[in-house]
A = this chain, B = another copy of it.
Amino acid sequence: MHVVEVNDPRDDRLADYLRLRDVNLRKSLEAEHGLFMAEGEKVIRRALRAGFLPRSLLLTERRRNALADVVASGADDVAVYIVSEDVAKLLVGFDLHRGVLAAFHRAPLPAPEDVLDAARSVVVLEDIVDHTNVGAIFRSAAGLGIDSILLAPRCADPLYRRSIKVSMGAVFTQPYSRLDDWRCGLGLLRERGFTLLALTPDADAVPLDEALADGGPGRRVALLLGSEGDGLSTRWLGQADRGVRIAMAGRDVDSLNVTAASAIACYELARGTRG
């Protein structure tokens, strides 16, 4: 890699790093240029280990020696921009305490069929629209050993900076794909023999652990998780084989938060489809 000091936050070479908290700008900029942003040394190293190619790095003066090994061994045509704390703040829009950012090239997503091939446990996210929730679900799924994640068309981007950060880089290693058809997307799973379980707060649904205990070894299970606000659509609920719930105790608490519920769901699903 080659090191370049830049003093002007409006310098075109820094365009990848512009206004990182401006969600609308970032969504269009990252889609158009096929890039994603990683923040902090640990997460950047995970992206590199997972095989993603860097477009450039941006380090503040105070952290100019961070990632020295990466800078030394990386491809010559990749720039490492060194900027002052002030330039960094004007550029990205906040104090860059960690002082280490990288822009990466996105890789083409595999087709849904490809991530289902060898999978026994699949989590399907209908419309999780919050990047924090998507990141948290990926971290739990990867940590607990869910084989694949499928995203509905309107689900938030796992490679958005906030998702990456919350996932601690799990989005780089967790196999996933995105359905391009919401209406009929679940057909793919059914054709491959997956049992479709729909997570719901409905007190009449079967407890998750009971539903997973039914059925022989080696079967394939897809667990459908709905959006933060409204849960699963009527359409997807209707297409599922059965509704499942996490047993609740009452006590004037009627639900778990998305991170908690998805962690328990992934934990049971990984256990229920193992070996």
Q: A261-B263, A263-B260, A267-B264 are in contact. Are A143 and B49 (CB under 8 A)?
A: no
- Find the B residue at minimum CB distance from A143: B253
Whether, in the assembled complex, A109 has its beta carbon less than 8 Å from a beta carbon of chain B, the answer is: no
Interface residues of A in 227-275 (CB under 8 A from B): 246-257, 259-264, 267, 270-271
Whether, in the assembled complex, A153 has its beta carbon less than 8 Å from a beta carbon of chain B, the answer is: no
Q: A263-B259, A263-B263 are in contact. Are A249 and B143 (CB under 8 A)?
A: yes
- Find the B residue at minimum CB distance from A167: B253
- Find the B residue at minimum CB distance from A270: B249
Size of the A side of the interface (Cβ < 8 Å), in residues, is: 39
A60 proximity list for chain B (CB < 8 A): none
Whether, in the assembled complex, A220 has its beta carbon less than 8 Å from a beta carbon of chain B, the answer is: no
Contact A256 B50 (CB under 8 A): no
Q: B250, B255, B259, B261: which contacts A257 (Cβ < 8 A)?
A: B259
Contact A139 B173 (CB under 8 A): no
Whether, in the assembled complex, A122 has its beta carbon less than 8 Å from a beta carbon of chain B, the answer is: no
Whether, in the assembled complex, A35 has its beta carbon less than 8 Å from a beta carbon of chain B, the answer is: no
A250 to B143, CA, bound (A): 6
A248 to B141, CA, bound (A): 10
